[in-house]
Amino acid sequence: MQLILASNSPRRRELLSEWKIPFLAVPSRFEEKGEGLSAEETVSAFAEGKAREVFSRYPGAFVLGADTVVAFEGEILGKPADAEDAKSMLRRLSGKTHTVYSGVCLIGKDFFRKGIARTDVTFYNLPVEMIEEYVAGGKPLDKAGAYGIQDGYPIVRSYQGSYTNVVGLPEELVRAFLKEGNIC
């Protein structure tokens, strides 16, 4: 049975490839609208919406949908609108702890699993010069919370939970669902 990743995320594609799981990437056309939802509700609804949309086009496959957000002080920090927004997010997160949530949904014929992974992440105090350099390099502009734990910058002091969740696809949860579906 074919596995389809309902995403165009380079990080999710890279992670699945590293795990030696064969898949096809098909971007979802699901429209992400989540006004008034909590971070957990948002990632759960978006992961399911992405998976269902792609499954409607590939009903003979297993479809994996995922969504990741950064939650800080009751607010969801998505992808920054521009460089100034990225700098602002990084300044807000500097020296503090925030939470990364990823929703995962796996759908197949007569199969449905959905779950959420949570990782608490604490940043170092980030010097203004480092924020400027990091944002100027462009890496934070397509990531929730304006950073990537895997980007090679000394941003994250510590984390409690799944590293791959912070990257964008929680390996432990995904592997458990794939095993239940007899995919790997």
DSSP annotation string for the chain: --EEE----HHHHHHHHHTT---EE---------TT--HHHHHHHHHHHHHHHHHHH-TTSEEEEEEEEEEETTEEE-S-SSHHHHHHHHHHHTTSEEEEEEEEEEEETTEEEEEEEEEEEEEPPPPHHHHHHHHHTTGGGGSGGG--TTSSSTTEEEEES-HHHHHTS-HHHHHHHHHHTT--
151 is catalytic: no
Question: 67 has which bridge partners?
Answer: 103
Residue 99 Rama label (left phi>0; alpha psi -120 to 50; beta): beta
67, 110, 120, 151: the catalytic one is: 67
CB 168 within 8 A of CB 68: yes
> Active-site residues: which are they?
67
